[in-house]
């Protein structure tokens, strides 16, 4: 298991995969930690989680540097990620007791109430693209609910995984309440089947989600899946084009385009297609690619050369099938997994740029006849994570966002971003279940009814 610097190709560190015996020991120790932790009160949990937030801010530079070296995120984006992690820790530290408070129900008995009880060890299978945020947004509600956590992170960010484990210990949590498993995907099934593991959550590809859902289902374990996305951004003829372009460029290039909720398909009604494309091209051309440690850099490398090769193959096949290459589309010379901001126009069905998720700074621009056609194209996808609609008629936009676009989140005149206060997740092949908000902390609890008879 290797961690390579994607900006230089240099080896950071080799990590030895844990043996099945070592994994079994960690699962046992984590379960034992849960048995004690479940009895703690919310005040104790809050104290520890607040310390996590403080340590994240104290060590922000160190953690940001680690992310930049392991997966190529720019330093400024990495620092923002750490701050967001601190925010979600504080959010659940403050609100978990309220979210999980007993609820009285008038049900004909002398007394009935719903209580939310911890279920045990929860396994998280997490991706490399937001190596701290993806983990912390799972871990904060999980341990605040009284559960324990096991992390199987992506191999290329093993350093981040171990740093997060140390973070929870330093904050005062029991030593084994949050543990990292350094294992390959082939070892995940045995962990899911272990009777001490009660649930599993995964953020990743649709293929990985399908495999984990199959294993979790066979073991009768609850699962939450946040999978791929090919978010549609619909621009109507009455849109503020300058504002739409700014939001679209930002969303398409965040994290070098390596985000499930990045804007990916830009569906533009014909009346403003040429105007949008010209302004969008200018905006994407202004994005600076370079050393992720340089404050002037907007996008660094992709996470690996293999991922860059896969993305470039999707671009090349789309051009061969008739897409127009407006910008970028060429692998730059020199070291690192860099790929330039790229625009494909006149994208049509059957092309990879229309059908598949493009995980990098590549924009698919699609022409629509009118509003109805744009909505049809937006929903003509197996994915349903996020989306946006741009129009000066806000009520019109709200109607489309609420009733027409098939996604877990849809924004009017803005771009999709996660927020601890709002539920996050998708529909169709983008997964099921919700993270964040009160709904997120209730995913992995026993919703239990207690009654007293008359």
Cα(264)–Cα(257) distance, rounded to whole angstroms? 9
Residue 419's nearest CA partner among 139, 93, 46, 137 is: 137
- Can you list the domains of the chain with their CATH numbers? 2-227+428-452 (3.40.605.10), 231-412 (3.40.309.10)
Residue 165's nearest CA partner among 196, 132, 119 is: 132
Cα(234)–Cα(427) distance, rounded to whole angstroms? 18
User: What pLDDT score does 110 carry?
Assistant: 86
Residue 72's nearest CA partner among 298, 224, 235, 285 is: 298
Q: Among all residues, which ones are annotated catalytic?
A: 226, 260
Question: Given strand 445-452, what is the order of strands in its sheet?
Answer: 103-104, 111-118, 445-452
DSSP 8-state code for residue 38: T
Which residues of the chain, if any, have pLDDT below 70? Answer: none
User: What pLDDT score does 279 carry?
Assistant: 98
Q: Quote the pTM value.
A: 0.97
User: What pLDDT score does 267 carry?
Assistant: 98
Cα(226)–Cα(222) distance, rounded to whole angstroms? 14
Block residue for tokens 């860059």: 308
Report the C-alpha dihedral over residues 327, 332, 336, 338, rounded to 10 degrees.
Answer: 0
**pLDDT tens digits along 122-151:** 999 999 999 999 999 999 999 999 999 999
User: What pLDDT score does 350 carry?
Assistant: 98
User: What pLDDT score does 109 carry?
Assistant: 77
């Amino acid at each position: 298991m290797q961690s390579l610097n994607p900006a230089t190709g240099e080896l950071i560190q080799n990590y030895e995969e844990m043996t099945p015996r070592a994994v079994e020991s960690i699962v046992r120790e984590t379960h034992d930690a849960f048995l004690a932790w479940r009895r703690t009160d919310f005040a104790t949990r809050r104290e520890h989680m607040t310390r996590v937030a403080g340590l994240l801010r104290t060590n922000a530079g160190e953690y940001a540097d680690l992310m930049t070296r392991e997966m190529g995120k720019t330093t400024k984006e990495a620092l923002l990620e750490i701050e967001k992690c601190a925010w979600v820790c504080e959010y659940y530290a403050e609100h978990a007791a309220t979210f999980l408070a007993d609820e009285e129900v008038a049900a004909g008995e002398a007394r009935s109430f719903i209580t939310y009880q911890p279920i045990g060890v929860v396994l998280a299978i997490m991706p490399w693209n937001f190596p701290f945020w993806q983990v912390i947004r799972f871990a904060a509600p999980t341990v605040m609910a009284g559960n324990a956590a096991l992390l199987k992170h992506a191999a290329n960010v093993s350093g981040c995984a171990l740093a997060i484990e140390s973070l929870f210990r330093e904050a005062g949590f029991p030593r084994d309440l949050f543990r990292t498993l350094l294992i390959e995907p082939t070892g995940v099934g045995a962990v899911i089947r272990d009777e001490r593991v009660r649930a599993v959550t995964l953020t990743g590809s649709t293929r990985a989600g399908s495999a984990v859902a199959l294993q979790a289902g066979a073991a009768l374990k609850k699962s939450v899946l946040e999978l791929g996305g090919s978010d549609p951004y619909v621009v109507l003829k009455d849109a503020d084009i300058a504002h739409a372009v700014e939001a679209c460029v930002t969303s398409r290039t965040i994290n070098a385009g390596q985000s499930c909720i990045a804007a990916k398909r830009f569906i533009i009604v014909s009346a403003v297609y040429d105007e949008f494309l010209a302004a969008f091209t200018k905006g994407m051309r202004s994005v600076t690619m370079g050393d992720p440690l340089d404050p002037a850099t907007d996008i660094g490398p992709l996470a690996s050369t293999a991922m860059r090769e896969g993305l470039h193959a999707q671009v090349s096949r789309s051009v061969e099938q008739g897409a127009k290459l407006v910008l970028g589309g060429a692998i730059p010379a020199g070291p690192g997994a860099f790929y330039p901001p790229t625009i494909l126009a006149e994208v049509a069905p059957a092309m990879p740029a229309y059908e598949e998720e493009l995980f990098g700074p590549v924009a698919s621009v699609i022409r629509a006849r009118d509003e109805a056609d744009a909505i049809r194209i937006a929903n003509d996808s197996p994915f349903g994570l996020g989306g946006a609609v741009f129009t000066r008629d806000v009520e019109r936009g709200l109607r489309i966002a609420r009733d027409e676009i098939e996604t877990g989140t849809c924004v009017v005149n803005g771009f999709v971003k996660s927020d601890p206060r709002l539920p996050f997740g998708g529909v169709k092949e983008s997964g099921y279940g919700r993270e964040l908000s009160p709904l997120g902390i209730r995913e992995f609890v026993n919703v239990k009814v207690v009654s007293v008879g008359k």
